[in-house]
Amino acid sequence: MNIQILQENLLRALIKTGRIISSKPQLPILQSLLLTTREGQLTIIASSLEATEIVTTRGKITKEGGMCVPSRLLIEFISSLPQETVTLEAKEGALSVACGKIHATIPGTLVSEFPTVPSRGKGSSFSFDKDSFVLALQGVLFAAATDESRPLLTGVKIIGGKDGMSLTATDGYRLSQKNLRGGANFSSTVVIPSRALSEVVKLCQEDKEVKELFFEETKEGQLVFSVGDTNLFTRRIDGEYPNTEKIIPKTYTTKITLDKEQFGRAVKSASVFARDNANIIRFHIEGNLLTVSANTPSVGENTIEVDGKAEGDGGDIAFNSRFLTEFLSNTKGDELVFEMTGSLNPGVFRVVGDDSFFHIIMPVRVQN
């Protein structure tokens, strides 16, 4: 392998692929990147077994070949180089790197040691507007679980239909659901790891020129997302996803419409006083007023009133402030609607003007 490539192009591709490498890989070889040169292109591949990311970039190739190289060392070294032409050459079990008067040799591993790289094959392919898909993912990803003890909840459930798809994520304490139009003829139901979908969001945000995202089911049962020069393969999470429909409230006894900025400021203020009390903040709705409060004996207490437009009985309910903060930071829109049915049933948050999205948070049981 011998290739000449611009430092900025090489570094961009290395950083992309390096993101999915696990800090605690299942196999030592997964700490490495696979570099191959063929037909005028440098291909860089990283794998966590759960996901595989493949990035291609062009360069001047004088010899085709490949080598596995430790990712962290290579990325740190390439990032230290000036923005000039870099020469990569594989020889005698090592990768030689040259840039101007700078030279380095990095021990490598044979290509055959790297796990089998998936291929796209001839599965069903669908396209989506990139920006719409990113907004949909951002609205649900934060609600997915991070605890590996319940693997299914670490993913996002996607249900396809003739008019689009539904995306759902829950960790058992909160739930987000977003309906997205597009992807005609995608009729499958899959659960995709949230880590892989978070990487899809980053890839879409980095590539400003690409307008469409391509999504494909391979014959091997994997899923691949294509964004510009990058393909991200991911396994699906097998098993029966919980029936979330039964926890979604169908009615409410109290509803209040709020200015999102004012509501967010109230939550942020109350959170300061809730840190040492399990992050619990309380809502009290009476008339057209929402009172947000927090009380920790060793810290103090805080009360904020937020004007709104209410209907129904009013009442009291308490939530974990962290869940509210994460919901607000991942939600667009100027106005929110909050619906509740008593202090022990889930609270529902909606965005005014967007009937394709809702977020549910389970309340915290507190003493009066």
- What pLDDT is attached to residue 183? 57
Fold of 249-361: DNA Polymerase III; Chain A, domain 2 (3.10.150)
Single pTM value for the model: 0.91
- What pLDDT is attached to residue 64? 96
- Where do the domains of the chain lie? 2-113, 125-245, 249-361
- What pLDDT is attached to residue 144? 98
- What pLDDT is attached to residue 297? 87
- What pLDDT is attached to residue 122? 64
- What pLDDT is attached to residue 220? 75
Q: What is the mean pLDDT of each run of 10 residues along the chain (368 residues)?
A: 97 96 92 96 96 96 97 98 98 95 97 91 76 94 94 95 89 96 73 96 90 82 91 94 93 98 98 93 97 93 97 97 97 96 96 96 89
Q: Which CATH number is 125-245 given?
A: 3.10.150.10
What residues pair up with 312 in beta bridges, in sequence order? 254
CB 182 within 8 A of CB 132: yes
Closest CA to 67 of 83, 101, 86, 43: 43
Q: How many CB atoms lie within 10 A of CB 331?
A: 20
- What is the DSSP-derived secondary structure letter of residue 147? -
Class of domain 2-113: alpha beta
Separation of alpha carbons 307 and 319, rounded Å: 19
Same fold, 2-113 and 249-361: yes
Question: Rounded to a whole number, what is the largest CA-CA distance in the chain?
Answer: 78
pLDDT in tens, 288-339: 999 999 998 888 999 999 999 999 999 999 999 999 999 999 999 999 999 9
Q: How many CB atoms lie within 10 A of CB 181?
A: 14
CB-based contacts of 78, cutoff 8 Å, min separation 6: 7, 10, 11, 14, 86, 97
- What pLDDT is attached to residue 118? 87
CB 228 within 8 A of CB 55: no
pLDDT in tens, 29-75: 999 999 999 999 999 999 999 999 999 999 999 999 999 999 999 99
Q: What is the 3-state secondary structure (H, E, C) of 4-48?
A: EEEHHHHHHHHHHHHCCCCCCCCCHHHHEEEEEEECCEEEEEEEC
At residue 279, the 3 state secondary structure works out as coil
Helices of type H across 140-219: 194-206
- What pLDDT is attached to residue 84? 98
Helices of type H across the chain: 7-18, 71-79, 130-138, 194-206, 260-274, 321-329
